[in-house]
C-alpha cells in the first residue's frame, strides 16, 4: 500500500503543470510542492475500514471530512456534505486509486473481489467504476502472490477487457488529463508493465501527461506488490508528508498512524477499546 501513497505524493505536483525543462527520467520525486491528495486519504480510509470493521461509506466520510482540502472532485464533495451512503454513478478513477490495501489484506481472490465491489459502490457504482476498483485490487493480489507480468496482463485483458498493448511511446505525444476509469486504467497498467522497479514505474507515469497523482497511485500500488517494495525509506517519507499541523496548530498524526498501522496493532487497539467500554458500562451499572 505504501507504493500507492508514495505514488500519489510524487505525482501530486505534476497533475496540472510541469516546470520548464521537465525531464521525467531525472526529476526529483518529492519536491517542495509535493503533498498527499485525496488518493492518499481514501487509500488510508480503506485500510481503516478493513481493519476496524467500519463500513466503507462511514470510513470515507470520516476521513473525507477530517481532511477536506485535498482535491476531492465535485461529486465526492457533494456526497460528503450530504452524509450519503449511496453511490452517485461515477465512472471516475477514484474507486481504483483507493483500493490497493484490499489486494494486500485478503487471502483469496473471492474476498478481494467482494470487498473491492463494496468499497466502490458507496460512491462509484457505475459499472466502469466498479470494474476499475476490482481490477486494481485483484492486480495487487496477483502481483503480491507471485503472478508474472504476462499473467497479470492476460488476466486483466480477459476478465476486464483492458487492452494494454499500446506502448508508452505512443501515449506520450497525445497525453492529456483524463480522470475516468476507462482512460486511467490501461495507462496505469502499461506504466507498470514497462517498468523494472517501483521507481521506473512512477517515472513512466511522469512521462505521459495524465491525471498524474492518481495514475501513479494505481500503478504504484501494483508495482509495490510486484517488486516487493518501493526501495525507499517508506515510513520516514510518509511521516514527512502525512504528519501536518491541523487547524489548531497541533500536529495531526491520525493519517500517518493508520497508514503504517499493522493488523495486529489495530486488533489490539480494538480489544483494548472494547475492554474499556465494558468496564465503563459496569461502573455505570454499579452507580
The predicted structure's pLDDT at residue 167: 95
CATH 1.10.4080.10 corresponds to the domain 2-12+36-231: yes
Grid cell listed for 241: 508528508
Grid cell listed for 277: 467500554
The predicted structure's pLDDT at residue 248: 76
The predicted structure's pLDDT at residue 216: 97
* Cα-only R_g, the chain: 19
The predicted structure's pLDDT at residue 20: 75
The predicted structure's pLDDT at residue 207: 95
The predicted structure's pLDDT at residue 83: 87
- pTM (2 d.p.): 0.94
Among 213, 211, 144, 228, residue whose Cα is nearest residue 5: 213
Interval 139-190: pLDDT, tens: 999 999 999 999 999 999 999 999 899 999 999 999 899 999 999 999 999 9
For the chain, which ranges sit under pLDDT 70?
284-287
The predicted structure's pLDDT at residue 51: 97
State the alpha helices, DSSP H only, in the chain.
2-11, 38-52, 56-66, 74-81, 94-97, 100-105, 109-121, 127-144, 149-160, 168-171, 181-193, 198-206, 212-227, 234-242, 254-260, 263-286
The predicted structure's pLDDT at residue 209: 93
Task: Enter the DSSP assignment of 75.
Answer: H
Residues 165 and 32: their CA atoms lie apart, in Å, by 36
Q: What share of the chain is helix, strand, coil (3-state, %, to 5)?
A: 65, 0, 35
Burial class (CB in 10 A: 0-12, 13-18, 19+), 136: buried
The predicted structure's pLDDT at residue 285: 59
Interval 35-56: pLDDT, tens: 999 999 999 999 999 999 999 9
Domain boundaries, the chain: 2-12+36-231
Task: Enter the DSSP assignment of 252.
Answer: E
The predicted structure's pLDDT at residue 212: 95
The predicted structure's pLDDT at residue 150: 95
Residues 118 and 180: their CA atoms lie apart, in Å, by 19
The predicted structure's pLDDT at residue 85: 85
The predicted structure's pLDDT at residue 84: 84
The predicted structure's pLDDT at residue 14: 86
The predicted structure's pLDDT at residue 139: 98
Among 196, 206, 194, 129, residue whose Cα is nearest residue 166: 194
| Percent of the chain predicted with pLDDT > 90 | 80
Amino acid at each position: 500500500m505504501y507504493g500507492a501513497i508514495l505514488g500519489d505524493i510524487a505525482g501530486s505536483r505534476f497533475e496540472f503543470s510541469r516546470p520548464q525543462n521537465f525531464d521525467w527520467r531525472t526529476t526529483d520525486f518529492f519536491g517542495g510542492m509535493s503533498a498527499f491528495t485525496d488518493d492518499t486519504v481514501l487509500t488510508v480510509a480503506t485500510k481503516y475500514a478493513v481493519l476496524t470493521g467500519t463500513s466503507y461509506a462511514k470510513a470515507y466520510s470520516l476521513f473525507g471530512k477530517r481532511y477536506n482540502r485535498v482535491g476531492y472532485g465535485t461529486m465526492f464533495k457533494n456526497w460528503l456534505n450530504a452524509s450519503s451512503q449511496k453511490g452517485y454513478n461515477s465512472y471516475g478513477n477514484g474507486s481504483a486509486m483507493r483500493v490497493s490495501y484490499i489486494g494486500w489484506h485478503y487471502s483469496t481472490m473471492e474476498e478481494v473481489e467482494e470487498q473491492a465491489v463494496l468499497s466502490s459502490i458507496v460512491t462509484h457504482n457505475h459499472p466502469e467504476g466498479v470494474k476499475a476498483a476490482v481490477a486494481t485490487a485483484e492486480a495487487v493480489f496477483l502481483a503480491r502472490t507471485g503472478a508474472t507480468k504476462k499473467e497479470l496482463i492476460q488476466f486483466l485483458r480477459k476478465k476486464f477487457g483492458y487492452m494494454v498493448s499500446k506502448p508508452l511511446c505512443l501515449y506520450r505525444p497525445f497525453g492529456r488529463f483524463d480522470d475516468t476509469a476507462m482512460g486511467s486504467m490501461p495507462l496505469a497498467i502499461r506504466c507498470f508493465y514497462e517498468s523494472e522497479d517501483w521507481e521506473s514505474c512512477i517515472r513512466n507515469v511522469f512521462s505521459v501527461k495524465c491525471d498524474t497523482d492518481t495514475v501513479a497511485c494505481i500503478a504504484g500500488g501494483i508495482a509495490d506488490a510486484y517488486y516487493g517494495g518501493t526501495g525507499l525509506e517508506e515510513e520516514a517519507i510518509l511521516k514527512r508528508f502525512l504528519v501536518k499541523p491541523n487547524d489548531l496548530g497541533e500536529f495531526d498524526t491520525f493519517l500517518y498512524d493508520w497508514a503504517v498501522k499493522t493488523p495486529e496493532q489495530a486488533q489490539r487497539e480494538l480489544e483494548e477499546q472494547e475492554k474499556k467500554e465494558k468496564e465503563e458500562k459496569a461502573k455505570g451499572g454499579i452507580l
